[in-house]
């Protein structure tokens, strides 16, 4: 597995400093930057694992990524935070591990010499 793009961004910490509560400029900017760096579009992504601390986080992330909440690719490879540990249980580490397993198992059309996404 090879990393082809990444980004890091933060939304305002204090709710009172946010322009609105139903968007995440950080998700929008970071996802676009990572996809651009990788030379991909959201349509090229086969698997997602959206961080799901609250349902609103998933809804906002879907909105910022431009995908439907009922996207046929699914929004998680773990079942989400409520079903795969908790915030104190290294959920993100576990979701990365689960995604790696999923990508290694998925041979749907990608030649072996090409990196998975």
Residue 38 lies in a domain: yes
Each residue's pLDDT tens digit, 12-66: 888 888 888 899 999 999 999 999 999 999 999 999 999 888 889 899 999 999 9
Q: Which pLDDT score is estimated for 47?
A: 93
Q: Which of 32, 33, 34, 10 is nearest to 117 (CA)?
A: 34
Domain that holds residue 78: 15-105
Q: How much is the pTM?
A: 0.80
Residue 49 lies in a domain: yes
Residue 77 lies in a domain: yes
Comparison of pLDDT for 18 and 111, the residue scoring more: 18
- Taking 3-state DSSP, the helix, strand and coil percentages for the chain, each rounded to the nearest 5, stand at 45, 0, 55
Count: domains in the chain: 1
């Amino acid at each position: 597995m090879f990393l082809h793009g990444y980004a890091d961004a933060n939304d305002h910490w204090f709710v009172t400093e946010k322009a609105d509560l139903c968007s995440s400029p950080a998700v929008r900017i970071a996802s676009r930057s990572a996809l651009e760096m990788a030379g991909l579009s959201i349509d090229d992504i086969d698997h997602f694992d959206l961080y799901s601390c609250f349902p609103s986080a998933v809804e906002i992330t879907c909105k910022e990524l431009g995908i439907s909440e009922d996207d046929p690719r699914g929004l998680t490879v773990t079942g989400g935070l409520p079903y795969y540990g908790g915030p104190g249980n290294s959920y993100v580490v576990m979701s990365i591990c689960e995604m790696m397993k999923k990508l290694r198992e998925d041979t749907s059309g990608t030649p072996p010499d090409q990196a998975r996404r």
